[in-house]
Amino acid sequence: MTCATFQVEGVPDFLVPASRDNSIACTCLLFYSLQVAKQKDHVAVMRILPALTQCDADIVYQDTFLHLLISYLACMPDHFASSDFYGVVVELFLMVSIDMDTKSAL
């Protein structure tokens, strides 16, 4: 199973479009992602992180949010051994930010 084909049911269909248009929905999604990461719920983290890329990048990729998220993810080293978890965190969430930065610099 590759990361590109990895699909986990999770975030309700209505929440992702709502989070694109509504800063309150996006903020709820951010706090939910921090909560599940703090609880070390790797399945919920894998469900929510790809959905966060659909939110406003100015909110999702702020240093304050990323610092908290990464500090919680750092407490989950056993889960990073799974290629699915690693792929979701790095390829589907963190690399998206790098791609956006690269495109905006051009």
Predicted local confidence at residue 4, as pLDDT: 43
Predicted local confidence at residue 97, as pLDDT: 77
Of the chain, the percentage scoring pLDDT greater than 70 comes to 77
How far apart, in whole angstroms, are the C-alpha atoms of residue 63 and residue 59? 9
Confidence of residue 103 (pLDDT cuts 50, 70, 90): low
Question: Under 8 Å CB-to-CB from 88, ≥6 apart: which residues?
Answer: 3, 6, 45, 46, 49, 50
Q: What is the pLDDT of residues 70-100, one digit of tens each?
A: 999 999 999 999 999 999 999 999 998 776 6
Confidence of residue 12 (pLDDT cuts 50, 70, 90): low
Predicted local confidence at residue 68, as pLDDT: 95
